């Protein structure tokens, strides 16, 4: 999800104007009122709060981090607007956004986002971004497993898509590591700073993920590769 569904308001535009308009099915669920807290060794995923704005602004606006995504908000105030928007979209059942909080910290250093591509969320898209100091620490892998479990067991997603710039070697490698299947190249599918980029289309299917998780559970813990 290199093109973030949120966009800061500009004259003549509305916040979130790039989000696919969806009329969600009428449902009532706990996650629409408040995202659950998901935990694994070394990381906690939780709903964003306004207290996360400053750290997200400092970590996600660097060139290394933002080069393959839509330009993020440029100020802490902009991230506060984004955080309020995520809560509104979550309440509507269209979108979820987890903040990534490393062990020993209280503020988020990255995001996992999931947005519905269909009203019942059976087809959805995910994306992620984490501050550069936390690359290669295992934070992404631990958080991604939590998100995928949530997506397939709680949201009821059947097919989860991801789009990553062909040039984004780290992002493509991360998706492959999580079991995503490469499908095809989307030519000139993503615009950033007036340049068009080719994107790889990846997918993970619910049944494949559940089978993989079941197989991992059957492996003795002393033999597991972490």
Structure tokens at 197: 């980029």
Alpha-carbon distance values, 168 to 80, 174, 175, 185, 205 (Å): 28, 10, 11, 13, 23
Residue 206 CA to residue 153 CA, distance in Å, equals 9
Give the pLDDT of residue 20.
Answer: 33
Give the pLDDT of residue 90.
Answer: 96
Which CATH number applies to 30-223: 3.30.70.2190, 1.10.510.10, 3.30.420.40, 3.40.630.30?
3.40.630.30
Give the pLDDT of residue 122.
Answer: 94
Domain locations along the chain = 30-223
Residue 65 CA to residue 108 CA, distance in Å, equals 15
Residues whose CB is less than 8 angstroms from the CB of residue 15 and which lie 6 or more positions away in sequence, other chains included = 6, 7, 8, 9, 81, 85
Give the pLDDT of residue 15.
Answer: 30
Q: What are phi and psi of 52, to 5 degrees?
A: -85, -10
Give the pLDDT of residue 181.
Answer: 97
Give the pLDDT of residue 191.
Answer: 85
Residue 223 CA to residue 226 CA, distance in Å, equals 9
Instruction: State the distance between the two ends of the chain, measured CA to CA, in whole angstroms.
Output: 26
Structure tokens at 23: 């009329």
Residue 107 CA to residue 8 CA, distance in Å, equals 22
Give the pLDDT of residue 193.
Answer: 78
Residue 189 CA to residue 168 CA, distance in Å, equals 14
DSSP letters, the chain, are: --S-S-----TT--TTTTSPP--------HHHHSPPPEEETTEEEEE--GGGHHHHHHHHSSHHHHTTSPPPPSSHHHHHHHHHHHHHHHHTTSEEEEEEEETT-SS-SEEEEEEESSTTSSEEEEEEEE-GGGTTSSHHHHHHHHHHHHHHHTS--SEEEEEEETT-HHHHHHHHHTT-EEEEEEEEEEEETTEEEEEEEEEEEHHHHHHHHHHHHHS-GGG---
If you average pLDDT over every residue of the chain, what do you get?
86
Give the pLDDT of residue 130.
Answer: 96
- Please return the burial class of 11, using the count of CB atoms within 10 Å of its CB with bins 0-12, 13-18 and 19+: exposed
Give the pLDDT of residue 199.
Answer: 95
**Residues found in the chain:** 226
Give the pLDDT of residue 10.
Answer: 41
Give the pLDDT of residue 28.
Answer: 36
Give the pLDDT of residue 29.
Answer: 54
Give the pLDDT of residue 177.
Answer: 93
Run means of pLDDT, 10 residues per run, the chain, 226 residues: 57 31 41 95 97 98 91 95 97 96 97 94 95 95 96 95 94 94 94 87 95 79 41
Structure tokens at 8: 């800061």
């Amino acid at each position: 999800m290199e093109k973030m569904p949120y966009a800061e308001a500009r004259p003549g535009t509305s916040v979130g104007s790039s989000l696919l308009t969806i009329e969600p099915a009428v449902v009532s669920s706990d996650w629409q009122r408040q995202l659950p807290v998901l935990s694994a060794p070394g990381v906690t995923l939780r709903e964003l709060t306004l207290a996360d704005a400053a750290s997200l602004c400092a970590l996600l606006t660097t060139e290394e981090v933002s080069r393959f995504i839509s330009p993020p908000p440029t100020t802490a105030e902009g991230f506060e607007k984004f955080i309020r928007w995520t809560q509104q979209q979550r309440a509507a059942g269209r979108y979820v956004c987890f903040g990534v909080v490393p062990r020993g910290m209280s503020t988020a250093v990255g995001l996992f986002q999931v947005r519905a591509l269909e009203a019942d969320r059976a087809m959805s898209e995910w994306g992620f971004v984490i501050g550069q100091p936390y690359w290669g620490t295992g934070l992404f892998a631990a958080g991604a497993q939590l998100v995928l479990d949530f997506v397939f067991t709680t949201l009821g997603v059947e097919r989860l898509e991801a789009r990553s710039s062909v040039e984004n070697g780290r992002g493509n490698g991360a998706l492959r590591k999580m079991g995503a299947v490469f499908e095809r190249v989307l030519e000139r599918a993503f615009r950033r700073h007036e340049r068009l980029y080719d994107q790889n289309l990846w997918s993970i299917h619910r049944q494949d993920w559940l089978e993989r998780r079941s197989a991992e559970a059957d492996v003795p813990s002393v033999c597991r590769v972490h």
